[in-house]
Amino acid sequence: MNNGERIEWRRKFLVEGLPEPLTRASSHLQYHDNYIHDTRLRLRTDRNPDTKEWLYVLQRIEDGAKDGAPFRCIAELYMAEREYAQFQIFEGNEIRKNRYFHKIDGVEYAYDVYIGELWGLNTVQAFFENAEAMKAYVPRQEFLLEVTGIEFFTGASLFDKKITDVQGKIAELTGSAIAVQ
pLDDT digits (tens, 9 = 90+) for 60-85: 999 888 777 888 999 999 999 999 99
The Cα 84–Cα 71 span in angstroms is: 27
Give the domain extent around 59.
4-174
The Cα 68–Cα 26 span in angstroms is: 36
Residue 154 lies in a domain: yes
Residue 181 lies in a domain: no
Cα angle for residues 149, 113, 59 (degrees, 5° grid): 55
Number of domains forming the structure of the chain: 1
The Cα 56–Cα 77 span in angstroms is: 9
Q: Is the pLDDT of residue 175 over 60?
A: yes
Residue 180 lies in a domain: no
| Amino acid 29: pLDDT | 98
